[in-house]
Amino acid sequence: MSVLVGKKAPSFSAKAVVNNQIVENFSLDQFVGKKYVVLFFYPKDFTFVCPTELHRFQDELEEFSSRNVEVVGCSTDSEFSHFAWLNTPKNKGGIEGVNYPLVADINKTISEAYDVLAGTADVNEAGDYEVEGEMVAYRGLFLIDLEGRVRHQVVNDMPLGRSIRECLRVIDALQHFEAHGEVCPMDWEKGAAAMTADHAGVSAYLSK
């Protein structure tokens, strides 16, 4: 598994569904210098854990927006699958009401670039194409800063849903550091004391 933290987020241009419309060339480049991005990958449309995550991101979209963060989802499904799922009612397993972008990584190049693609594909000695496992995305999540650099990543196996609270906490920590130059200790929450990155700062924090 590649560690992308500290590196430029891999660039891509792909089809996506945005505001219930299919767009041809969606890219994260449009947000550089303007917005932070939370890019999250999920395995498949029309599944079970996935809609709980997609709906929760939608429920908390105002919290992300208040932090100047764009939420973008991505799976290896087609744009047509995304569109159909977005137009399926929630009580029938759909994600109707979700209005942040969903990227179609049908060629699996984006998942591969972010190193969240499960399964492997290769050509054997006979020249036959062999695939081991399902070629879908793990539950990867990447926080990308205003300069387009990855500042946080987490990757869960497919049965393990993520935490919106932790995602927001890490955004708050990054933005606190950027605004004040203070580092954020274990379990830091917005509004709590942070510390300077030196021995005096650590001693002062631990003595509280």
**Whether residue 22 is found in the same domain as residue 80:** yes
In this predicted structure, the answer to whether residue 143 has a pLDDT above a threshold of 70 is yes
- Regarding whether 192 and 111 lie in a shared domain, the answer is no
Claim to verify: residue 139 and residue 57 sit in the same structural domain: yes
Residue 84 belongs to some domain of the structure: yes
Same domain? For 35 and 70 the reply is: yes
What are the φ/ψ torsions at residue 62 (nearest 5 degrees)? Answer: -65, -35
Looking at residue 119, its pLDDT comes to 78
Does 93 map to a domain? yes
Region 139-150 average pLDDT:
98
- Rounded Cα distance between 142 and 70, Å, is 12
| pLDDT computed for residue 117 by the predictor | 95
Residue among 50, 74, 167, 184 flagged as catalytic: 50
Overall average pLDDT of the 188-206 stretch: 83
- The answer to whether position 50 is within a domain reads yes
In the predicted model, is pLDDT for residue 165 greater than 80? yes
Q: Looking at residues 146-168, what average pLDDT do you find?
A: 97
Same domain, 112 and 191: no
Report the C-alpha gap between 183 and 201 in whole angstroms.
10
Is the same domain home to 181 and 112? no
Q: What is the CATH number of the domain that holds 77?
A: 3.40.30.10
Under the banding of pLDDT at 50, 70 and 90, the label for residue 123 is low
pLDDT mean over 35-46: 98
184 as an active site residue: the answer is no
- Let me know if residue 6 belongs to a domain: no
pLDDT higher than 90, residue 129: no
User: What's the pTM?
Assistant: 0.93
Neighbouring-strand partners of residue 17: 22, 102
174 in the same domain as 101 = no
Structural domain range at position 187: 163-208
